[in-house]
Structure 1
Amino acid sequence: MALASLARKIFGSPSDRQVKRYHGKVAAINALEPELAKLTDDELRARTADFRTQLENGADLDDLIVPAFATVREASKRVLGMRHFDVQLIGGMVLNDRAIAEMRTGEGKTLVATLAVYLNALNGKGVHVVTVNDYLARRDAGWMGQIYRFLGLSVGIIVHGLTDQERRQSYAADITYGTNNEFGFDYLRDNMKYSRAQMVQRGHEFAIVDEVDSILVDEARTPLIISGPSDDRSELYIKVDELMGVIGEGDFELDEKHRAATFTDDGVEKLEEALRSAGLLKGESLYDIENVALVHHANSALRAHKLFRKDKDYIVRDDEVVIIDEFSGRMMPGRRYSEGLHQALEAKEHVKIQPENQTLASITFQNYFRLYKKLAGMTGTAATEAEEFADIYNLGVVTIPTNLPIQRIDEDDAVYRTAAEKYDAIADLIKECQERGQPVLVGTTSIEKSEMLADLLRKKNVGQMNVLNARHHEQEAFIVADAGLPGAITIATNMAGRGTDIQLGGNLEMRIEREAGELEGEAREAKIAEIKATIAQEKEKALAAGGLMVIGTERHESRRIDNQLRGRSGRQGDPGHSKFYLSLQDDLMRIFPVESMDSMLAKLGLEQGESITHPWVTKAIERAQGKVEARNFDIRKNILKYDDVMNDQRKVIFEQRLEFMDAEDVSETVTDMRHDVVENIVTKACPPRSYPEQWNTEQLAAAAKTYLNVDVPVAEWAAEEGIDTEAVETRLREAADALIARKEETYGPAIMRQVEKSILLQSVDGLWREHLVMLDHLSKVVGWRGIAQRDPLNEYKQEAYELFQAMLSNLRELVTTQLSHIEVQMRQPEPPQAPSPAQLTESHIDPTTGENDAVGDDSDRPENRPLDPQLLVGLSRNAPCPCGSGKKVKHCHGAFV
Structure 2
Amino acid sequence: MLEPFFKNYFNQSLTKYNSQVDTINNFGPMLSNLSDDEIRQRVQILKQKLLSNKNEADIICEVFAIVREATFRTLDIKHFDVQLIGGLVLNDGQIAEMKTGEGKTIVALLPTFLNALYGKGVHVVTVNDYLARRDAETVGRVHRFLGLTVGLIQEDMSPEERKQNYQCDVVYVTNNELGFDYLRDNMAFTQEEVVQRPLFYCVVDEVDSILIDEARTPLIISGPSEAPTQKYLQTSQLARVLQKNIHYIIDEKNQVVKLTDEGTLFCEQALKIADLYSPSDPWISYVLNSIKAKELFIRNTHYIVNVEEEVIIVDEFTGRTMAGRRWSDGLHQAIESKENLPIQDESQTLASITYQNLFLLYDKLSGMTGTAKTEELEFEKIYGLKVIPIPTHRDVKRKDFPDLVYKNQYLKWQAIANECIKMNEIDRPVLIGTTTIEKSELLAALLSEYNVPYRLLNARPENIESEAEIVSQAGCRGAITISTNMAGRGTDIALGGNLESLLKVKLKKFISDLVSVDFSTVLKSAQFDEFLVSFVPVFETFGLSKLNESSVREDLLEYLNEGIIPDRSDIMDFITAYNSFLKERAAILLEEKTLITKLGGLHVIGTERHESRRIDNQLRGRSGRQGDPGSSRFFLSLDDKLLRLFGGDQILNLLQNIGLEDDAPIQSPILTKSLESAQKKVEVYYFDSRKQLFEYDQALTMQRNGIYSERKRVLEKESLRDWIIEYGERSLYDITLAFSTSTNLTLDKFFALKTQELLGMPYQVKWESAKGDINVLLNNLKHQFQVSYTLKEAQLEAIEPGIMRELERSFLLQQIDFSWKEHLQKISALRDSIRWRSYGQRDPLTDYKKESYSTFVTMLNRIRHQVIYFIFRSKITIDFE
Shorter chain as denominator, the TM-score bin is 0.7 to 0.9
Tell me which residue corresponds to 1:269: 265
Tell me which residue corresponds to 2:640: 586
Gaps of 5+ in 2: 1-6, 512-573
| Paired amino acid for 2:339 | E
Tell me which residue corresponds to 1:454: 444
User: Among the aligned pairs, what percent are the same residue?
Assistant: 45
Write out aligned runs for 1:570-719 (5 A). 570-593=624-647, 597-684=651-738, 694-713=745-764, 718=768
Q: Is the 8 A contact 1:425 1:609 kept in 2?
A: no
Distance 1:65 1:679, change over 3 A: closer
Once the two structures are TM-superposed, the CA of residue 121 in structure 1 deviates from its matched residue by: 1.2
Q: In structure 1, how many angstroms separate the alpha carbons of the residues matched to 2:764 and 2:38?
A: 83
Once the two structures are TM-superposed, the CA of residue 626 in structure 1 deviates from its matched residue by: 1.4
Query: What root-mean-square deviation, in Å, do the aligned CA atoms of Structure 1 and Structure 2 show?
Result: 2.5
Tell me which residue corresponds to 1:509: 500
1:379 counterpart (345, 354, 369): 369
Once the two structures are TM-superposed, the CA of residue 497 in structure 1 deviates from its matched residue by: 7.2
- Kindly indicate whether residue 387 of structure 2 is the aligned counterpart of residue 410 of structure 1: no
Distance 1:819 1:531, change over 3 A: farther
1:807 counterpart (859, 870, 875): 859
- Kindly indicate whether residue 153 of structure 2 is the aligned counterpart of residue 158 of structure 1: yes
- Counterpart of 1:470 in 2: which secondary structure? coil
Q: In structure 1, how many angstroms separate the alpha carbons of the residues matched to 2:734 and 2:758?
A: 11
Q: In structure 2, how many angstroms separate the alpha carbons of the residues matched to 1:323 and 1:112?
A: 33
Tell me which residue corresponds to 1:464: 453
Tell me which residue corresponds to 1:37: 32
Q: Is the 8 A contact 1:512 1:531 kept in 2?
A: no
Distance 1:160 1:526, change over 3 A: same
Greater Cα offset, 483-492 or 228-237: 228-237
| Paired amino acid for 1:108 | G
2:332 counterpart (332, 342, 345): 342
Once the two structures are TM-superposed, the CA of residue 181 in structure 1 deviates from its matched residue by: 1.3
- Kindly indicate whether residue 483 of structure 2 is the aligned counterpart of residue 492 of structure 1: yes
Distance 1:675 1:598, change over 3 A: same
Q: In structure 2, how many angstroms separate the alpha carbons of the residues matched to 1:533 and 1:463?
A: 29
Once the two structures are TM-superposed, the CA of residue 549 in structure 1 deviates from its matched residue by: 0.7
Once the two structures are TM-superposed, the CA of residue 232 in structure 1 deviates from its matched residue by: 6.6
Write out aligned runs for 1:314-325 (5 A). 314-318=303-307, 319-325=309-315
Q: In structure 1, how many angstroms separate the alpha carbons of the residues matched to 2:444 and 2:689?
A: 36
Write out aligned runs for 1:857-868 (5 A). none
Once the two structures are TM-superposed, the CA of residue 526 in structure 1 deviates from its matched residue by: 4.8
Q: Is the 8 A contact 2:487 2:618 kept in 1?
A: no
- Counterpart of 2:59 in 1: which secondary structure? helix
Q: Is the 8 A contact 2:457 2:470 kept in 1?
A: yes
The superposition leaves residues 678-700 of structure 1 with CA deviations (integer Å, 9 ceiling, x where unpaired) of 3444455565677xxx3334323
Q: In structure 2, how many angstroms separate the alpha carbons of the residues matched to 1:498 and 1:104?
A: 14
Q: In structure 2, how many angstroms separate the alpha carbons of the residues matched to 1:43 and 1:687?
A: 74
1:790 counterpart (842, 846, 853): 842
- Counterpart of 1:159 in 2: which secondary structure? coil
Distance 1:533 1:135, change over 3 A: farther
Once the two structures are TM-superposed, the CA of residue 714 in structure 1 deviates from its matched residue by: 5.3
Gaps of 5+ in 1: 1-10, 828-897
Once the two structures are TM-superposed, the CA of residue 443 in structure 1 deviates from its matched residue by: 0.9
Q: In structure 1, how many angstroms separate the alpha carbons of the residues matched to 2:650 and 2:20?
A: 52
Q: In structure 2, how many angstroms separate the alpha carbons of the residues matched to 1:398 and 1:458?
A: 44
Once the two structures are TM-superposed, the CA of residue 495 in structure 1 deviates from its matched residue by: 2.7
Once the two structures are TM-superposed, the CA of residue 437 in structure 1 deviates from its matched residue by: 1.7
Q: Is the 8 A contact 1:697 1:714 kept in 2?
A: no
Q: Is the 8 A contact 1:685 1:699 kept in 2?
A: no
Write out aligned runs for 1:281-292 (5 A). 281=273, 284-292=274-282
Greater Cα offset, 219-228 or 589-598: 589-598
More RCO (CA 8 Å, sep 6+)? 1
1:552 counterpart (597, 606, 618): 606
- Counterpart of 1:207 in 2: which secondary structure? strand
Distance 1:642 1:686, change over 3 A: closer
- Kindly indicate whether residue 531 of structure 2 is the aligned counterpart of residue 482 of structure 1: no
Q: In structure 2, how many angstroms separate the alpha carbons of the residues matched to 1:511 and 1:737?
A: 73
Greater Cα offset, 531-540 or 786-795: 531-540
Tell me which residue corresponds to 1:774: 826
Tell me which residue corresponds to 2:579: 525
Tell me which residue corresponds to 1:23: 18
Q: In structure 1, how many angstroms separate the alpha carbons of the residues matched to 2:440 and 2:771?
A: 88
Q: In structure 1, how many angstroms separate the alpha carbons of the residues matched to 2:743 and 2:248?
A: 59
- Kindly indicate whether residue 789 of structure 2 is the aligned counterpart of residue 740 of structure 1: yes
1:223 counterpart (213, 218, 239): 218
Q: Is the 8 A contact 1:312 1:448 kept in 2?
A: yes
Greater Cα offset, 58-67 or 342-351: 58-67
Tell me which residue corresponds to 1:65: 60
Tell me which residue corresponds to 2:254: 258
Q: In structure 2, how many angstroms separate the alpha carbons of the residues matched to 1:721 and 1:57?
A: 59
Q: In structure 2, how many angstroms separate the alpha carbons of the residues matched to 1:497 and 1:765?
A: 36
Once the two structures are TM-superposed, the CA of residue 735 in structure 1 deviates from its matched residue by: 4.1
Q: Is the 8 A contact 2:406 2:665 kept in 1?
A: yes
Tell me which residue corresponds to 1:46: 41
| Paired amino acid for 1:300 | N
Tell me which residue corresponds to 2:134: 139
Tell me which residue corresponds to 1:77: 72
Q: Is the 8 A contact 1:437 1:541 kept in 2?
A: no
Distance 1:287 1:537, change over 3 A: same
Q: Is the 8 A contact 1:29 1:70 kept in 2?
A: yes
Q: Is the 8 A contact 1:666 1:753 kept in 2?
A: yes
Greater Cα offset, 312-321 or 665-674: 665-674
Q: Is the 8 A contact 1:512 1:528 kept in 2?
A: no
The superposition leaves residues 392-433 of structure 1 with CA deviations (integer Å, 9 ceiling, x where unpaired) of 111111111111111100111122232222222222222211
The superposition leaves residues 1-52 of structure 1 with CA deviations (integer Å, 9 ceiling, x where unpaired) of xxxxxxxxxx999x72222322222222222212111111111111111101
The superposition leaves residues 519-558 of structure 1 with CA deviations (integer Å, 9 ceiling, x where unpaired) of 5334433554577665433323322211111111111111
* Equivalenced residues, count: 804
Distance 1:649 1:550, change over 3 A: same
Greater Cα offset, 96-105 or 167-176: 167-176
Tell me which residue corresponds to 1:565: 619
